[in-house]
Structure 1
Amino acid sequence: MEIIKTIKPGDDGSKRYHDKYGEQLCAVRYRRSPCKKTVYTTVEIIVAQREAYQKNQSKRIDTTHPPHTSEWVAVKVAYDEAELRAAVRRMGGRWSNRAKAWVVKRSMATRRNISHRIVEGLIDECLDIDI
């Protein structure tokens, strides 16, 4: 559908929707159907709010409690260990070019008996991986 017009909260044409949805209202839009015979009025509202996660936030390890098995960790695998690299890739590992390490869940590293290859704290440098 083609957007004909977008109205911000507080502008003319948004008052009745602002009365209904209050501060949750983000926008009022008028859309035209593909056949151009119908015009639809839509509203964009906020349904949830949370603090945004930022990639550059440091992920500190709490040494007072055992590590969580669902947390991401960096694992070092040598280049000539092609079979092991393929196994890490199969378990969902992602290569961090920045840290030159594989990123996997701690539980997967433990299950595959490569937990001795985990480099604690190196995950903080894996900012090029979306985890």
Structure 2
Amino acid sequence: MMTKTTLKPGQKGTKRLMEKYGERLICVHYRYDKQTSRRYTTVELVEEVSDWETPMTRISQPSEFATSRRVAVRVDYWEAELRQQVKTCIWRPRQKLWEMKYKNVIVLGLENRLVGEDEVVPE
């Protein structure tokens, strides 16, 4: 059996099925069977909608291991208030980076300032 045509809701040939299935209709397939010389009309429907966890959601809720690992964060010199908050962490003057636990990065909201491992020069 081969699929010759796939139509999206609203295209010519889907009107009757749109009335029947409404918002649940995803697409309509017209399949042809050469052996029996028949055409089959099949539909794809949404059966259920539920929440799912994206990879980014999982990252925003890190494991205990992930929160205890040390990461490098860049804080610019003129950001005096933020620098004051991270002064309890380790300063790496050669790299001009602060080293801190990832859980502190989350608490301070510094996720967008994380420095990749390729940018960190070994001590």
Pick the TM interval, shorter chain: 0.3 to 0.5
Structure with bigger gyration radius: 2
Q: Which has more helix, going by share of residues? A: 2
